[in-house]
């Protein structure tokens, strides 16, 4: 599938960090098995909405070089059920539509998985088959798809409300966020200015967790390196100032590090990946070397072992381990069984670090209760 230089799928990177576009131009495009699996799932969903096949009909077949398994069928069906919940008898349903975004930047376009128009509401629904949670709120990729749909369909259909949806069936995550046509057009002015910045040779770099997450230049980015260094060292320009001092890190510094933890760890992981590749290519990195990863022994073929043990008349109780099927399967099989539900317990969780934005209530330490008594 073709991608624009400024694609909606990488919008969080280039809108936040315009300099990353030129920096990434010389890196090769790569893929992996997870991405290929997701591409096949998208194709399977497209077949259903175009009326050519149901997911069940394609079970076991090969799509986009990937064999359709039961997990893919189940996930696509959950996505279909979610999408259909927003469809009415007279809804307009548009599948895998390529929207022209040239009004933001020349040659720019994006392909929306599913566009649904019901009454006066425009729904943009995006299927994500990965396990990393993606939120619909202020999602740049979906906002660009919505702008493309508004430009293309706004003169034909009358809608003002826009709802952006993320459907992640394998992660059991379905999210939506409402905005309006006027708010999206206001935002598009800012996007256009950021797109123009990417054309400049000295386009600015602006590291952030979202912008850097999938950036190919991450491990080689001087701006990111300096930014991470400033966060970790705090207000000290000269590390020699710290010599002989203890407890120098205060809560303000801790907060700054925690606020940027995702950015810092992402940078470290990117550097580790580059280091591994360079060592594989024969480069030398002082203090590091390639070693063989640890592995565990396993049977070459379990069926062969099973046949051998049966031939030796080993008792079945000595060969196999019996255990309950997963709890969720039992509850689904015995739906509404009050006696089983009484057997469920939910242990108290341990204290866990989280930002103030986390919706969970503050952890109540039981020791505080004893002190109060």
The number of residues making up the chain comes to 373
pLDDT at 119: 87
pLDDT at 236: 57
What's the rounded Cα separation, in Å, for the pair 31 and 62? 18
Which among 57, 65, 60, 71 has a CA at the least distance from the CA of 40?
Answer: 65
pLDDT along the chain (373 residues), means of 10: 76 97 90 93 97 96 96 97 94 96 95 95 97 95 98 92 97 97 97 97 94 94 94 67 61 89 94 93 93 92 96 94 90 92 91 87 66 50
pLDDT at 373: 47
pLDDT at 237: 55
pLDDT at 370: 47
CA–CA distances in Å: residue 129 to residues 104, 137, 253: 28, 18, 37
Q: CA end-to-end span of the chain, whole Å?
A: 66
Residues with Cβ within 8 Å of residue 143, at least 6 apart in sequence: 11, 164, 179, 184, 187
The dihedrals phi and psi of 286, each to the nearest 5 degrees, come to -50, 125
Tokens 């256009």 belong to 192
Residues with Cβ within 8 Å of residue 42, at least 6 apart in sequence: 96, 113, 127, 129
Residues with Cβ within 8 Å of residue 12, at least 6 apart in sequence: 140, 141, 210, 211, 213
CA angle, 252 then 254 then 259, to 5°: 95
Residues with Cβ within 8 Å of residue 87, at least 6 apart in sequence: 93, 116, 118
Domains and CATH numbers, the chain: 8-197 (3.90.320), 209-280 (no CATH)
pLDDT at 124: 98
The dihedrals phi and psi of 160, each to the nearest 5 degrees, come to -125, -35
Take residue 331 and report the two structure tokens written for it. 């509850």
What's the rounded Cα separation, in Å, for the pair 226 and 222? 6
- What's the predicted TM-score (pTM) here? 0.77
């Amino acid at each position: 599938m073709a991608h624009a230089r400024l694609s909606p799928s990488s919008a969080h990177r280039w809108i936040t960090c315009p300099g990353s576009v030129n920096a990434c131009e010389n890196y090769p495009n790569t893929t992996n098995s997870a991405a290929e699996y997701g591409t096949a799932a998208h194709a399977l969903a497209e077949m259903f909405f175009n009326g050519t096949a149901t997911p069940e009909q394609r079970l076991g077949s090969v799509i986009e070089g990937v064999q359709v398994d039961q997990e893919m069928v189940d996930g696509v069906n959950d996505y279909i059920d979610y999408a259909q919940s927003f469809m009415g008898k007279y809804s307009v349903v548009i599948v895998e539509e390529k929207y022209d975004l040239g009004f933001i930047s020349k040659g720019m376009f994006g392909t929306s998985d599913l566009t649904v128009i019901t009454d006066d509401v425009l729904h943009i629904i995006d299927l994500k088959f990965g396990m990393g949670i993606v939120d619909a709120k202020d999602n740049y990729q979906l906002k660009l798809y919505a702008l493309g749909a508004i430009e293309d369909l706004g003169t034909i259909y009358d809608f003002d409300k826009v709802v952006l949806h993320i459907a992640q069936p394998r992660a059991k995550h379905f999210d939506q966020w409402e905005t309006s046509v006027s708010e999206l057009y206001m935002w598009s002015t800012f996007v256009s200015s950021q797109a123009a910045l990417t054309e400049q040779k000295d386009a600015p770099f602006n590291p952030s967790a979202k912008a850097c997450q999938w950036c190919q230049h991450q491990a080689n980015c001087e701006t990111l390196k300096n930014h991470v260094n400033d966060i970790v060292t705090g207000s000290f320009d000269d590390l020699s100032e710290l010599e002989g001092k203890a407890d120098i890190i205060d809560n303000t510094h801790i907060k700054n590090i925690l606020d940027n933890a995702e950015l810092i760890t992402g940078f470290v992981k990117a550097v580790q990946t580059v280091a591994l590749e360079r060592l594989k290519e024969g480069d030398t990195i002082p203090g590091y070397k390639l070693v063989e990863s640890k592995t565990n022994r396993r049977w070459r073929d379990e069926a062969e072992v099973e046949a051998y043990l049966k031939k030796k008349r080993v008792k079945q109780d000595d060969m196999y381990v019996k255990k309950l099927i997963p709890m969720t399967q039992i509850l689904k099989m015995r739906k509404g069984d009050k006696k089983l539900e009484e057997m469920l317990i939910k242990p108290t969780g341990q204290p866990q670090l989280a930002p103030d934005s986390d919706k969970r209530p503050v952890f109540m330490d039981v020791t505080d209760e004893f002190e109060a008594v």
